[in-house]
Every structure is written in C-alpha cells, then in structure tokens.
Amino acid sequence: MNKNTLRPLFLLPLLFSFNLRSVSALNLNDFPSVDFITSPSPGSQPLTNGSDFIRSSCKCTDEPDLCYASLEPYSRSVNRDLAKLSIAAIGVSLEKVKTMVSYLANLSRDADHKSDPRMLQDLRLCLRLIGGANGAVDEIQKSMKQMRDLGSAGSSKERLRFLLFDVQMSITGASIDHSTCIDNFDDVDGPLKEDVIARIAYVRKYLRIALGLVDCYSDKVTS
C-alpha cells in the first residue's frame, strides 16, 4: 500500500521519461493466461444452488449485479467455495486490466496523439502505472498467487489474517494505480480523456468486486 500511495510523489520524474521505445517493449504475451479455474464449457448450465451462492456472495461487493454477471458462468467450478470465487474474481479483473494495458499501448503508438505532448505524456504514465514493472498487472498477479498459497498457510487465524491482508493490499495497490492514472489527466481535455477515464472507471469496478469478495472471505475465516 505504501509504495503505491508514494508513487505519485517521487516517481513522476522517472515516469515522465517513459518513452515510446519502452511502450513497444511491453509484451502483452508475457502476461500469463488466466488459468485460475476451469472455464465453463459452451452451453453448460450452472447449478442453481451454485448460482444462488454467487448471487449471495456478490452482496459483499459494491457492484452486486456486475459481480454476479461476471462470475455466474463459473458457478460449477467454484463449487460454493468463497476462496475459489475470490480467485475467480481476481482473474476476471486481471483480464480487464490486461485489456486496458493493450488499449493504452495502442493509443501511445498512435501518431494522432503525438501532436499533443501532454496527452502523450499522460498516456505513457498511465501505461507505466498499469502495465509496467510493479504496476497494476503485477499487483493483481501477486494477489492471485497469494490466494492460491493460502492452502499451505495452516489453520492459524492470525496467519490467514496476515496473508489475506497482503492480498487486500495488492488489489488496493492496483486500484490506486488506476486512480493515479485518472488524476494525471487533469491537465488535458477532450473526448480521448473522457474515454480513457470511462474505461479506467469500468476496470476499477472489477477490482472492487475482487476486493469485496476477498474482504468477505477474510471475515469468514478469521473472525
């Protein structure tokens, strides 16, 4: 958490130096595919009680309808397990963030935006915050690994509380990266700014869903 809150203050000079060569070096294929849970087969029908479990669990989040719509296809795979549902939500949010990285990378390479140095600089900074080293993608991947490692943590509530706090902080860090990206567009205007901000706000909804489910799971196993 602290590295993300401090990032806007002391990393800006470095981030502003991020150039198009660095953007091109971002290889989206290096991001691992989401294999967190078995994907639903086409035409498969979820178990009714599994769907009810997801609908009930999604009440832990700020976006219950979006939560249910995005996770209901995995109702068979999560098998009424809140930990698995949390991992599924993290995986869905990862895919959304990776799509955002691809969008920002394409904009940064678009010649139409090179005539506006401030917009190009803001796009590069967002790309670095979200897709660069220790950015949002890394944070979410770390949170997924942390959730998967819970099985070896033992039964101590204190140990689980500590590990789940790390998960929560990783997801929160990814959300802060997106928030910082939005704040950085204060010096520009226009339809492109509005589109970027709208897309980031949409992605942050999935991050809030993942965090809400992890919070709910933490309350369940540590209280």
Q: What is the pLDDT of residues 109-155, one digit of tens each?
A: 875 666 688 888 999 999 999 999 999 999 999 999 999 888 765 66
d(CA 88, CA 140) in angstroms, rounded, equals 12
Confidence of residue 49 (pLDDT cuts 50, 70, 90): confident
Query: What is the reported pLDDT for 154?
Result: 63
Query: What is the reported pLDDT for 109?
Result: 85
The answer for residues whose C-beta is within 8 angstroms of residue 26's C-beta and 6 or more apart is: 101, 105, 127, 131, 132
Query: What is the reported pLDDT for 12?
Result: 34
Percent of the chain whose predicted confidence (pLDDT) is above 90: 58
Query: What is the reported pLDDT for 216?
Result: 96
Confidence of residue 21 (pLDDT cuts 50, 70, 90): very low
* pTM, full prediction: 0.78
Average pLDDT value for the chain? 80
Residue 206 pLDDT exceeds 70 = yes
Query: What is the reported pLDDT for 41?
Result: 43
Overall average pLDDT of the 1-11 stretch? 38
Overall average pLDDT of the 13-32 stretch? 35
Query: What is the reported pLDDT for 53?
Result: 95
Overall average pLDDT of the 29-48 stretch? 40
Helix (H, G, I), strand (E, B) or coil at 149: helix
Query: What is the reported pLDDT for 36?
Result: 39
d(CA 98, CA 104) in angstroms, rounded, equals 10
Residue 186 pLDDT exceeds 60 = yes
Of 128 and 44, the one with more pLDDT:
128
Residue type, 112: D
CB 105 within 8 A of CB 28: yes
CB 164 within 8 A of CB 150: yes
Helix (H, G, I), strand (E, B) or coil at 82: helix
Q: Residue 67 is encoded by which pair of tokens?
A: 């939560």
Overall average pLDDT of the 64-86 stretch? 95
Residue 39 pLDDT exceeds 80 = no
Query: What is the reported pLDDT for 112?
Result: 66
Of 21 and 214, the one with more pLDDT:
214
Residue 51 pLDDT exceeds 60 = yes
Query: What is the reported pLDDT for 117?
Result: 86
- Angle CA(9)–CA(15)–CA(20) in degrees, nearest 5? 165
Start-to-end CA span in the chain (Å): 23
